Amino acid sequence: MLSKTIQDALNEQVRIEAESSQVYLAMASWAEIQPGIDNITAFFYRHSDEERMHMLKLIHFINDRGGFAVIPELKQPSLTFPSIKHALQALLTHEIMVSESINNLVDIALTEKDYATHNFLQWYVAEQIEEEALARTINDKLELIGDDKGGLYLFDRDILSVSVVGSTVE
């Protein structure tokens, strides 16, 4: 059985994962109407799906352990971006925030001596290492490209292989 403190903390993470999915879905929709970045668009859509999967995993865990997973209200994410670079920087900043939130959850689980939840959260700890590393790699590559349009074309071709290697989708 989950303590109220753990249940509330896990439900807050449900909200964050749902919000992440919305944030990346908005990036995907914006990217889809920009010319020539089909694979970057696909990357955002896939990332959004992954976040929904992270959310569902939490929902099932909470409910399976005798709690009640609350489906959250979400605020509207940013809809447009000055450039693809800005969108991908925002993605990295968002992932860093998610990692902090997961670390905070791990702390709460330890304080509450909830070792089952602590064990469950290890998957998210590992996932965040992967996702942050992937987002950093992508941003580093974009930094190298600068404003070069040909570079962006090659980057768009490249991003699928980068994301397939770096991702631990379940």
Residues that bind ligand OFO (CB under 6 A): 17, 20, 51, 54, 95, 98, 124, 127-128, 131
Helix, strand, coil tally for the chain in percent (to 5): 80, 0, 20
Name the minimum Å distance from CB 52 to ligand OFO: 9
∠ CA(17), CA(21), CA(26), 5° rounding?
Answer: 145
- The answer to whether 124 and 73 have CB atoms below 8 angstroms apart is no
By C-beta, is 117 or 128 nearer to ligand OFO? 128
Report the C-alpha gap between 140 and 17 in whole angstroms: 25
Name the minimum Å distance from CB 26 to ligand OFO: 15
By C-beta, is 29 or 167 nearer to ligand OFO? 167
Name the minimum Å distance from CB 158 to ligand OFO: 21
Burial of 143 (0-12, 13-18, 19+ CB in 10 A): exposed
By C-beta, is 51 or 156 nearer to ligand OFO? 51
By C-beta, is 46 or 65 nearer to ligand OFO? 46
